[in-house]
């Protein structure tokens, strides 16, 4: 995940009607009822990619209300949960390129949401901590994630939601080797 906005339209629509179902929906135009995405090999992987992109775009649109880009909230959540962290630890935990995390932290610092200070024990290390303004966003970010969850799972019952969570965890395990 990067901290840059992703305003490009989504790659595909499940069924294209030429009309977006919601203002934030990443839809593409096409002939009525025609899929804009290729079929054939890798259909599940392609569906996962489309859903992941639509989810990220929707998250970005919701987070923009708070002045955040998608991905920045994950860094903030880590700081809220664990307190001040070495920037090198944030890089490992988020699984991102060091330059991406550095830009993310710089932008959050410019927005007044985090501070960066040299570590007292190792002056080469940088400690990142939330500010009062950053702490104040915690509840709002939680509300955004709840809204994202509701939009994502709309129309699914409790059993389907549980099964989806189980299947996604299984897929993650397959891909990460856990």
Q: Tokens 């040299």 — which residue? A: 118
Q: 138 in helix, strand or coil?
A: helix
Q: For residues 52 and 5, state if they share a domain.
A: yes
77 in a structural domain: no
CATH code for position 86: 1.10.10.10
Q: For residues 36 and 46, state if they share a domain.
A: yes
73-97 mean pLDDT: 94
**pLDDT at residue 37, as a whole number:** 54
**pLDDT at residue 7, as a whole number:** 41
Structural domains counted in the chain: 2
Q: Tokens 């901290």 — which residue? A: 3
Answer positive or negative: Cα dihedral of 66, 68, 74, 79. negative
Q: How far apart are CA 34 and CA 51, in angstroms?
A: 18
**pLDDT at residue 147, as a whole number:** 97
Express as a percent the part of the chain with pLDDT over 70.
78
51-75 mean pLDDT: 94
**pLDDT at residue 105, as a whole number:** 96
Ordered DSSP codes for 54-98: HHHHHHHHHHHTTT--TTHHHHHHHHHHH-SEEHHHHHHHHT--H
**pLDDT at residue 63, as a whole number:** 95
Q: For residues 52 and 108, state if they share a domain.
A: no
3 in a structural domain: yes
Give 147-152 contacts, CB < 8 A, sequence gap 24+.
147/62, 148/55, 148/58, 148/59, 148/62, 151/22, 151/58, 152/55, 152/58
Q: Tokens 């024990």 — which residue? A: 121
Q: For residues 60 and 90, state if they share a domain.
A: no
Q: For residues 14 and 58, state if they share a domain.
A: yes
Q: For residues 132 and 172, state if they share a domain.
A: no
103-120 mean pLDDT: 94
Q: For residues 132 and 89, state if they share a domain.
A: yes
Q: Global pTM? A: 0.71
**pLDDT at residue 39, as a whole number:** 59
**pLDDT at residue 4, as a whole number:** 45
Phi/psi at 126 (nearest 5 deg)?
-115, 130
Domain that holds residue 45: 1-70+138-178
Q: For residues 29 and 117, state if they share a domain.
A: no
The tokens describing 132, both together, are 């009062």
**pLDDT at residue 27, as a whole number:** 47
151 in a structural domain: yes
């Amino acid at each position: 995940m990067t901290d840059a906005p992703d305003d490009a339209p989504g790659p595909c629509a499940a069924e294209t009607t030429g009309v977006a179902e919601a203002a934030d929906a990443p839809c593409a135009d096409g002939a009525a009822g025609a899929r804009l995405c290729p079929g054939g090999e890798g259909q599940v992987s392609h569906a996962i990619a489309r859903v992941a992109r639509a989810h990220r775009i929707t998250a970005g649109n919701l987070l923009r209300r708070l002045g955040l880009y998608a991905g920045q909230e994950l860094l903030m959540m880590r700081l809220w949960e664990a307190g001040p962290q070495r920037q090198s630890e944030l890089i490992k935990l988020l699984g991102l390129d060091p330059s991406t995390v550095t830009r993310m932290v710089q932008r959050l610092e410019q927005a007044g949401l985090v501070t960066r200070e040299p570590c007292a024990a190792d002056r080469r290390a940088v400690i990142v901590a939330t500010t009062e303004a950053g702490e104040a966003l915690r509840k709002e970010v939680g509300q955004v994630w709840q809204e994202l969850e509701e939009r994502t799972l709309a129309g699914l019952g409790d059993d389907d939601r549980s099964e989806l969570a189980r299947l996604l965890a299984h897929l993650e395990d397959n891909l990460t080797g856990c």
